[in-house]
Amino acid sequence: MKPSPELFQLIKSLSKSEKRYFKLTSSLQSGEKNYMKLFDAIEEQLEYDEDAIKAKFEGEVFIKHLPSEKNHLYNLILKSLRGFYADNSAASVLQEQLRNIELLYNKALYKECAKYIKKAKAIAYQYEKFYFLLDLIDWEKKLIEESYSRGIFDSNLTKLVIEESECIEKLNNLAVYQKLYSKINYAIRNKGFTRTPEEEEIIDEIKNHPLVKGKNTALSTKAATSCYSIKGMCASTNRDFDEVKVNFEKVVKIMEDNPPILKELPKRYVFALNNILHYYSDMNDFDNCMVLIDKIKSLKTTTGFESMDIQLSLFTLPYNAELITCLKTGKYNQAIENVIPKILNGLETYQGKLSIEDEIIFNYNISKAYFGNDDYKNALKHINLVLNNNENMLRQDIFTFAQLVNLIIHFELGNLDLLEYTIKSVKRFVAKKESNHQFENVFLKGMRKLIKVKSPDDLISIIENFRTELTTVLEDPYEKVALEYFDFIAWLDTKLLKKTYSELIQEQNYLV
């Protein structure tokens, strides 16, 4: 059995400050600490090598029960991290307060206990920690029962029961929004833009849910951010760009007006900014686009955004947006010289931490940048990274169009023999899809004709017919979504107008 790398990954994820805190707290313990020997040895490794660990400590007693030592060290690191971040989140503070409340209650220090409950409830309301609030209300009930036993009847139990009911109602309300949020998020992760009436029906079902469609249906600030995020995401899938901007601007304003909620949900805030950014991109307002890219990048060193989870988003979202901006403006050379090197460096830095979806999106857009710069070998390299990273339930929209772009790249490289086989393979893939779109079928039909052309005169005729057939298909709004992934018409026009793909994108002098 291959040794588990979890301990290695945890140690490697620690910041300098976290490591320093762990070593400091460990130094306060007396006696020999074998776990620190193990920590230092693993910290030095670039890749986890358990055999090397065993060889290094051969002859020492603790190495004979290495699995238990690893588990012990793992738990000690987690304990240290809990201490390091004890005052860094509302949840940590409330957990500590609840322990204090329990201790004071058990010592019959009821007055002091009530003071802690009051302070903790203020934090729970401020950060909308409703689960903690229920625990605190439960402790208040215990104090009331205790006061009754001592003949004190000045507490209002009815008011507390009403407060508890309101808290449960808010929790239920938030839970429904979270379910709807997950549902629309899954639809986007799986399909991307809506391309069929059936897919649009799924989005409409979410969009028309009473809690999304109705007014003043969110019972908490967190629920309101969920509600507007859901509306914005639904609008995004249907390419209703104005609605995207309106709803995500509401999310940003709510969070900026409520710092505690922003602290609780920093990733949602970044996500909202990113969606507004893409609105400006879709409107070709690249000045505002760059302003928001810089704003998101600046969050990297902002308090509250330090966690690795957020740092990953602060890498992927702005750099992908910057790359897309270069693609849309035809500045492929700028993308290759200034943006892609930073992306590749980030991919290496965050290796093993980034999601497959992020890697797919980066490599797809990098491939398009190299294609626009007529560097077809590098374009092929990165499109292959997309095709080799396919997950059956993840971004099948990108995977589908990556296969079509792959055909174009091979055509430009002159790999006509390979193309005949590859086109058949893609055709089988398309035929098996639940949604068999007309665009893909027409495109594959046109590519089959292209690779069989024998004379230059026939080539122009075939391309003209190819273009006409595609533009006819693209009159259907569902089919026109294809151009969101790659400008197939511009590529055909490079053959007809004798201009480079980059020139056509920059001039925007072709008809779609």
For the stretch 84-122, pLDDT in tens is: 765 668 888 898 899 999 999 999 999 999 999 999 999
Handedness of CA 203, 204, 206, 211 (dihedral sign): positive
Q: What is the 3-state secondary structure (H, E, C) of 31-89?
A: CCCHHHHHHHHHHHCCCCCHHHHHHHCCCCHHHHHHHHHHHHHHHHHHHHHHHHCCCCC
Residue 394 confidence (pLDDT): 66
486 close to 404: Cβ distance less than 8 angstroms: yes
Q: Rounded CA gap, 397 and 395, in Å?
A: 5
* pLDDT less than 70: residues of the chain: 1-3, 30-31, 85-88, 149-155, 189-197, 390-394, 434-436, 509-512
CA distances from 196 to 31, 201, 311, 368 (A): 68, 9, 35, 26
Quote the strand ranges of 95-222, DSSP E: none
**In 3D, which of 444, 425, 431 has the Cα closest to residue 482?**
444
200 close to 234: Cβ distance less than 8 angstroms: no
Q: State pTM to two decimals.
A: 0.79
Residue 512 confidence (pLDDT): 36
Q: Rounded CA gap, 65 and 47, in Å?
A: 22
State how far Cα 68 lies from the chain centre: 35
| Token couple for 238 | 């249907």
Residue 434 confidence (pLDDT): 63
Residue 509 confidence (pLDDT): 39
Residue 408 confidence (pLDDT): 95
Residue 274 confidence (pLDDT): 93
Of all residues in the chain, what percent carry a pLDDT higher than 70? 92
Angle, helices 266-282 vs 286-298, to 10°: value is 160
Helix (H/G/I), strand (E/B), else coil: 485: coil
According to DSSP, residue 335 is labeled I
Helix (H) or strand (E) holding 359: helix 356-372
